[in-house]
Amino acid sequence: MKKRALIFSLLAIFFLSGLYASSVTRYVSLSGSNTAPYTSLATAANSIQDAVDASSDGDLVLVNDGTYLLSTNISVLKGITIKSINGAAVTIIDGNNSTRCIYINHANAVLEEFTIQNGYNPGGFGGGANIKNGGTIRKSTIKNSQARDGGGVAIDDDGLVENCYIYGNTASNNSSSGYGGGVRLLNGGEIRNCEITANTSVKYGGGVNIWNAGIVKNCVIAKNSALHGGGIRTRNNSKVYNTIIYYNSAPSGNDYQVSGSGYKYYNSCFPGSLPPSSWAPNCINSAPKFVNINPGSEDYRLQSSSPCIDVGMNFGWMTTVPDLDGNARIYNTICDMGAYEYGASGGGGGSDSDGDGIADVDDDYPSDADRAFDNYFPAGGKGTLAFEDLWPGKGDYDFNDLVLDYRFHTVTNGTNHVVEIFGKFVIKATGASFANGFGFQLPNNNIAPHDIRVTGQVVDNWQIVTNAYGLEQGQVLPTVIVYDNSFDIMPHPGYGLGVNTDPDAPYVEPDSVEIYMSFTQNVYTMAQVDIENFNPFIYTNQARAMEVHLPDLAPTSLVDTYFFGILDDDTDPSINRYYKTENNLPWAINIPEPFDYPKEKALITSAHLMFYIWAESEGTLSQDWYQDLPGYRNDAFIYTHE
């Protein structure tokens, strides 16, 4: 897989460089040698600003994967294109909650395919980005930023934001002034094909604020909030086309508010009484029928019965610019309202073979009406759990008594309700002499026992009693015992300490247990099941009441609380403090990637040198302690095998 990813990255670089063959291509990479003029990945600049400063009009700057933390904003005053190599999901510009991220002031400047986040500019324009007098941001995510004008992005006079997700931003000067939580347009500028959601403003325009002039085309403006104009506030010569403005909130003007004169809303959708057709021609007030508006599971694509389909106003740019999904912007002759074209595909056609309201091009199960989407946690691959089993004593503190990889695959249907969850647990090491069991608990009590069925457990111990649905009996929250004895899954090799913890002992191939959970149809959303906040635990040496959990996660109903607060344990349920020592050292850890664990009897603090800092700070410092970075580990104490 790594080889395939490398090939794709190299092909992407070759293709992108070819598009700009008459210009100089410069590179940015956190692992580059930072050698000007930055014309290869090997000599790439380490900061985007350095590559911008070295460029001339017409140049291309390609940015490799990584999070680029800023102490001052990136300033683009040239007609250059800055583009990520592998997309917005893996290429992040982060203002570190201390500075605006991007400033663009050139008509031919383009920033494309980035995540722009944590910008901060409470005294001015644009928390994530400010475009002045021209420039374009496209195919990007702008989130979690703050400014007085345009928490996400502000455009002054001229500029374009296209095919972007803009959410979680705030317009505030840390007092009572704020204009455009998501977007602020001042005297001009245009936004189109954007999803503008969950933004807020302390004064005007939770989603969008237009002052004097500006244009909005084919956007979704939903679930924003403000004091005036929760979705959008338009003043004077403002124009809104083909836009859905729904489910916003404000004391004055939940979804829209107007001021001055010259404003127009064309072919748009908003709730309540329709305004006069003189300034809102061809508008509708019917609910747009998004695929899902449930909190945490929002999907602003249109259902097949949406009144927003085929009722928009066509524009010339739609022949070359796709919708927010990358599909044709016009399908079936007339474009739709909103950012997504129902039934479209990249070639201008599409179908919904199983009739579940999800176009085949977007459907992971195009022939199955009961299933539509695959969702994974962790999203990037396997996570790792590691446990110490001598709680409430610290024991040898090598965190290899159980080392287990995990990943959940959740299948949802066309309305984003959970159909089934596949959980795979791969036992990599058991350094314990105890025969330990492993299980997990779902975090919420909103799931009725009869709405879930669990199979696949490896359980023979009489102490484990399950109900007819495969859940453990006697529990307040849904609890699954995955297996009751690690040695039944990974037998001891015959000599050495533990299994796959002693480098001198034979290596045993990891084995796995796969759990299947099915749910009653159309009852629970992913947010309600909340598998990402599952509560994993071991119980030690076949004693069901002796549980070990992640720090500050409460035990199950079957724990023996007698052991709280004795030996090294500093649990105090009255303040929701669990499974930590007085110095905050845990007995279990959860890592979002495969873990290089210590060998037998090697302290984790000797193998991973930043672990103690991370633990003592309760996870606020050295959050990457487990990674292989300079000064982070002593390989002599880490388990390896031939």
Question: 526-545: per-residue pLDDT in tens?
Answer: 888 989 889 999 999 999 99
Of 347, 368, 389, at which residue does a domain stop? 368
Q: Is the pLDDT of residue 342 over 50?
A: yes
Q: 110: pLDDT confidence band, cut at 50, 70 and 90?
A: very high
Whether pLDDT at 404 is above 90: yes
Same domain, 407 and 323: no
Q: Is 285 left (phi over 0), alpha (psi -120 to 50) or beta?
A: alpha
Number of domains in the chain: 3
Report the DSSP beta bridge partners of residue 62. Answer: 27, 83
Same domain, yes or no, for 73 and 222?
yes
Query: Which residues face 137 on adjacent strands?
Result: 111, 161
Q: How far apart are CA 567 and CA 513, in angstroms?
A: 33
Q: Are strands 511-519 and 418-429 parallel, antiparallel or unpaired?
A: antiparallel
pLDDT exceeds cutoff 70 at 20: no
Are residue 232 and residue 311 in the same domain, yes or no?
no
Query: Dmax over Cα atoms in the chain, in whole Å?
Result: 86
Asked whether residue 3 is domain-assigned, the answer is no
Instruction: Please say which residue of 368, 398, 427 terminates a domain.
Output: 368
Q: What is the pLDDT of residue 130?
A: 97
How would residue 12 be classed by pLDDT, with cut points 50, 70 and 90?
very low
Q: What are phi and psi of 9, to 5 degrees?
A: -65, -45
Of all residues in the chain, the percent with pLDDT exceeding 90 is: 77
- Is residue 290 located within the same domain as residue 275? no
| Residue 605 binned pLDDT confidence (cut-offs 50, 70, 90) | very high
Higher-pLDDT residue of 642, 521: 521
548 pLDDT band, cuts 50/70/90, is very high
In a domain, 13, yes or no: no
Q: What's residue 277's pLDDT? A: 82
Q: Does any domain span residue 4?
A: no
Residue 12 lies in a domain: no
Task: Mark whether 82 and 208 lie in a shared domain.
Answer: yes
Q: Is residue 509 a part of any domain in this protein?
A: yes
Which one is predicted more confidently, 212 or 642?
Answer: 212
Q: DSSP 3-state assignment of 46?
A: coil
Indicate whether 108 and 226 sit together in one domain: yes
- The answer to whether position 102 is within a domain reads yes
Q: Are 174 and 202 in contact (CB under 8 A)?
A: no
Quick check: 14 pLDDT over 60?
Answer: no
Least Cα distance to 550 among 571, 570, 535, 528 occurs for 535
Q: What is the pLDDT of residues 619-631, one digit of tens each?
A: 889 989 999 999 9
Whether this prediction's pTM lies above 0.85 is answered by no
454 band by pLDDT with thresholds 50, 70 and 90 = very high
Q: Which residues, including other chains, have CB under 8 Å from residue 71's CB and lie 6 or more apart?
A: 96, 98, 99
- The alpha carbon of residue 249 and the mean position of all alpha carbons in its chain are separated, in whole angstroms, by 25
What's the pLDDT at 21? 37
**Comparing C-alpha atoms, which of 232, 209, 231, 235 is closest to residue 222?**
231
* 415 & 559 share domain: yes
Q: What is the pLDDT of residue 351?
A: 66
- Judged by average pLDDT, the poorest of 205-214, 454-463, 537-546 is 454-463
Which of 219, 250, 285 terminates a domain? The answer is: 285
For residue 630, being part of any structural domain is answered with yes
Q: Which CATH number do you get for residue 221?
A: 2.160.20.10
| Residue 17 forms part of a structural domain | no
Band (pLDDT 50/70/90 cuts) for residue 40 is: confident
253 pLDDT higher than 50: yes
387-407: burial string, b at 16+ Cβ within 10 Å, e else: bbbbbbeebbbbbbbbbbbbb
pLDDT for 344: 74
> Could you tell me if 488 and 564 lie in one domain?
yes
**What's residue 16's pLDDT?**
42
For residue 464, give the 3-state DSSP assignment.
coil
- Statement to judge: residues 203 and 294 lie in one domain: no
Residue with structure tokens 């990402």? 532
Token pair belonging to 212: 């004097």
More confident residue, 497 or 337: 337
Q: Which region among 210-224, 348-362, 545-559 has the lowest average model confidence (pLDDT)?
A: 348-362
Same domain, 468 and 568: yes
Per-residue pLDDT, 345: 59
Q: What whole-number distance in Å separates Cα of residue 148 and Cα of residue 100?
A: 11
444 and 571 housed in the same domain: yes
**Do 259 and 312 belong together in one domain?**
no
pLDDT band at residue 449 under the 50/70/90 scheme:
confident
Q: What's the whole-number mean pLDDT along residues 309-327? A: 92
Mean pLDDT score across all residues of the chain: 91
Domain that holds residue 603: 374-637
Q: Are 142 and 129 in contact (CB under 8 A)?
A: yes
**pLDDT band at 429, cuts 50/70/90?**
very high
Please say if the pLDDT value at position 510 is more than 60.
Answer: yes
Per-residue confidence (pLDDT) for residue 357, from 0 to 100: 79
